[in-house]
Chains A and B, each alone.
Chain A
Amino acid sequence: MENTKLSPLQLFALLVLFQLGTALVVNLGMEAREDAWIAVLCGMLIGCLLYMGYAYLYITFPDKLPTQYMRLLLGKYLGGIIGLAYILFYMNKSSRDLLDGGLLVFVSTLKETPLFIINTVMMLAVVYVLHKGIEVLARTAFILLWIVFVIGIVILFMLLFSGIIDFTRILPVLSDGFKPVLKSVYRQNYQFPFAEIICITMVMPYLNNKKAGVRAGLMSVLLSGMILSGTAVITISILGVDIAERSIFPLLTLVGKASIADFIQRLDILVVMVLIIGDFFKIAIYFYAAVIGASDLFKIPYRKILYPLALIVLFTSITISRTYSEHVKKGGDVLYIMDPLFYVILPAGLVIAALIYRFRTRRKSGTRIS
């Protein structure tokens, strides 16, 4: 573990950028068609619940990394195996996100550059920043959050002033009832991106203020949920459901439509910038969680294990899927079966174990565990 302290504000910045990272790019909740924004909001609420579960684990063991308290609660071997599973999970997620980001860049701007090079450059940047430590990452996140906000507001104004928004395309609301919304939520929305913040539990022991830190995390879920929901509304308002649901990167398409006075046009590069920044943080945080966990489990210093794992992530990102649709299918079908295991079931088990642990130790020593 490093000897640094993060402030709640930095945690907030990290989490917001993390959640917006890839979620802004792809279609969220399109299974619910016009009601995608409702689906996102529901997912946000479920995400808050899950977050409270993760936060509870943090508060129970404020100075321990998850790999440590897993071993504490479940015994050395079982806990170690589960910890290892989480590390592999995070690394897989990290390389999938790397692939997502690389594909985005590949499709929108750098059409000729090999995907490998794009991914390598991103990974180099991630390794460079992580080498300096989580504190640098957090501070950078804070500054970049401001930049992202500013760009976001600029884009919003541009969209408003080009007169292409037509809110009637959202209507009618809930024309097919609530079922499609629920379906979408179940399949996708609560996991992506909200439940993914479980990996922040690896970083939370660095907080210098427990309560404020937990609150910051909650705020970040709410904020990013609202931003994503708003984005869904705007996407559908501008493009209409039909185009939006068939688009791979709807945000790019819709920003491409905005033009003011023939002068400011095709600002989708700004959007790509925002997405690269978000994706960077997503990859970095997932990767960092994996590295810290591995460093803790295998007792290797953090900086040494950084590079080999980075190479693994890089190469995995190229090899996991041969085609884009395979990638999406795996993300949609396969992972939606497997992810709840990591997001819901295992943490639920850990929470129960933690409750039992507290109960037992309280009984044993007769005093409260802080």
Chain B
Amino acid sequence: MRIRGIGLLVILCVMLPLSGCWDAEELNQRAVVSGIGIDRGPGNNNYVVSLQVIIADEISGKIGRGGTPTTVYSAEGRSIIEAIRKASIQVPRLTSTAHVRIVVISEELAREGISDILDFLDRDSDIRLTAKVFVAKEGIRALDVIAGLSPMGKITAYTLAQKAEISSREFGANYPVEVDDLIRDVLVPNSGPVINGVDIEGSVEEVRKKSNLEATDNLGLLVMSNLAVFKGDQMKGWLNEQESKGFVWLRNLLQNTSIVITPGDQGVITLDVHRGKTSIQAILKDREDPVFIVKVMSQLSVREMDGTVDLRDPAALNEMEKDVNEEIVKNIKAAVQKAQSLNSDIICFGRTLELQHPKVWKQLKSQWSEIFPKVAVEYQVDSIIRNSQMRDRSFKYNLKKE
């Protein structure tokens, strides 16, 4: 028995040097990719994949040479994974995509159809499903976005991802889209995903240079843009700002935004939305013709006031609320109309119908692409102005009195 034990031990020890730990890879032999950009190859059907690789020294090491914190490698291939592997002729280390935060797709490619890209993102075990997706506005390549530098935050991919989140919280015309949202939305009948747009303000050339960061007002800046609407896997159009806001309302993703109203002679009044809750109800007037009622509840507070309205007066507040409701309805209506005109059920009416009247949905499912553009929608908005920050009347009120 002893001999057997020793024999086993010997075998194990022999195994150790033989095995050689195939999978172990030192950290400084990895090129950690933080963002991927995908473009169409010039004049052919290939993909040009750009990889934004983090240079660790520049960010936190002591031996930085003063270069840029990230660098971009791009390569062309017939499929995305082939392109990434091809990039290895440029990258001196192992391309490691587990920390990819953003995926940028050029508009050209988006219009053609993103199903191959989605398959790659879905299947790959390294890339996380929480990576955020963007569409680069026409005129800019994904490569340009990937190559950009930002003044706050060293890794551009992360700052872009953060921009999406923050702007969705502050402005309400975007919402963060992740890879698995895309995949799920592509499969919804007659619908498609909605993806944030990215734009470069200013000079495309300058945004990738370090010299850009040396001035306080940058010559080029990466900014969030409006939402891109897809039907299936093909992009159909952009929502403008108003439509984007309405869309976010509809999807019940609104966190904070501001609403500007100009009631009569009171000048411009701006209110903040604190909480918005949207629910959609489907009512069947007759079997073939569902009507959707969009109910919105919101709570607001007055942020900026130009006029002399006395906010202590509930009647005045009611007036303002009416105006606000109108404004919100305008936005939502615009979004609905755009969706209907593009014939893409991005506003999830179909899903609502499915949840509330499953049997009817079963019947109508196959005809949804005909029914959807003609569906009637009603709006009920109820807003409440809760407070007005620190003052209840503008100082102009006192001015007026005099």
Contact = CB atoms under 8 A, between A and B. Distances in A.
Task: Please determine if A and B sit in direct contact within the complex, based on CB atoms under 8 angstroms apart.
Answer: yes
Contact of A243 (B183, B355, B362): B183
Contacts of B184: 240, 242-243
A243 B23 contact: no
Interface stretch (B63-71, B122-130, B137-145): B122-130
Given A256-B128, A266-B128, A172 B180 contact: no
A259 B187 contact: no
Contacts of B354: 172
A259 B180 contact: no
A239 B180 contact: yes
A172 B353 CA distance: 11
Interface residues of A, number: 25
B157 to A, nearest CB: 13
A112 B23 contact: yes
Interface in B354-379: 354-355, 358, 362
A257 B130 contact: yes
Contact of A266 (B12, B98, B180, B355): B98
Contacts of B122: 243, 246
Given A107-B125, A112-B22, A113-B22, A242 B187 contact: yes
B355 A172 contact: yes
Given A172-B354, A172-B355, A242-B183, A117 B23 contact: no
A68 interface: no
A254 to B, nearest CB: 9
A301 B19 CA distance: 33
A319 interface: no
A110 B21 CA distance: 9
B22 A257 contact: no
B398 to A, nearest CB: 46
A316 interface: no
A108 B187 contact: no
Nearest to B355: A171
Interface in B5-50: 12, 19, 22-23
A117 B354 CA distance: 50
A259 B131 CA distance: 11
A113 B130 contact: no
A84 B15 CA distance: 34
A253 interface: yes
Contacts of A172: 354-355, 358
Interface residues of B, number: 18
A108 B125 contact: yes
Interface in B315-370: 354-355, 358, 362
A242 B362 CA distance: 18
Contacts of A243: 122, 180, 183-184
A111 B180 CA distance: 24
A175 interface: yes
A257 B180 contact: yes
Interface string B179-196: 010011001000000000
Interface in A234-293: 239-240, 242-243, 246, 253, 256-257, 259, 265-266
A313 B276 CA distance: 60
A361 interface: no
B355 A168 contact: yes
Nearest to A257: B129
A109 interface: yes
Contacts of A256: 128-130
B22 A110 contact: yes
Nearest to B18: A117
A185 B311 CA distance: 64
Nearest to B12: A124
B371 to A, nearest CB: 20
B250 to A, nearest CB: 16
Nearest to A307: B4
Interface in B167-188: 180, 183-184, 187
Contacts of B355: 168, 171-172
A243 B130 CA distance: 14
B358 A111 contact: no
Nearest to B362: A175
A111 B183 contact: no
Contacts of B362: 175
Given A243-B122, A266-B98, A111 B130 contact: no
Interface in A102-127: 107-114, 117, 124
A109 B183 CA distance: 24
B233 to A, nearest CB: 14
B183 A257 contact: no
Given A172-B355, A239-B180, A111 B129 contact: no
Contacts of A110: 22-23
A259 B129 CA distance: 11
Interface string A63-96: 0000000000000000000000000000000000
B120 to A, nearest CB: 14
Given A107-B125, A113-B19, A265-B128, 11 more contacts: A112-B22, A113-B22, A114-B22, A117-B19, A172-B355, A172-B358, A175-B358, A239-B180, A240-B184, A256-B129, A257-B129
Closest 6 CB pairs of A and B: A112-B22, A240-B184, A113-B22, A112-B23, A110-B23, A172-B358
14 contacts: A107-B125, A109-B23, A110-B22, A111-B23, A112-B23, A114-B22, A124-B12, A172-B355, A240-B180, A242-B184, A243-B184, A253-B129, A259-B130, A266-B98
Interface of A: 107-114, 117, 124, 168, 171-172, 175, 239-240, 242-243, 246, 253, 256-257, 259, 265-266
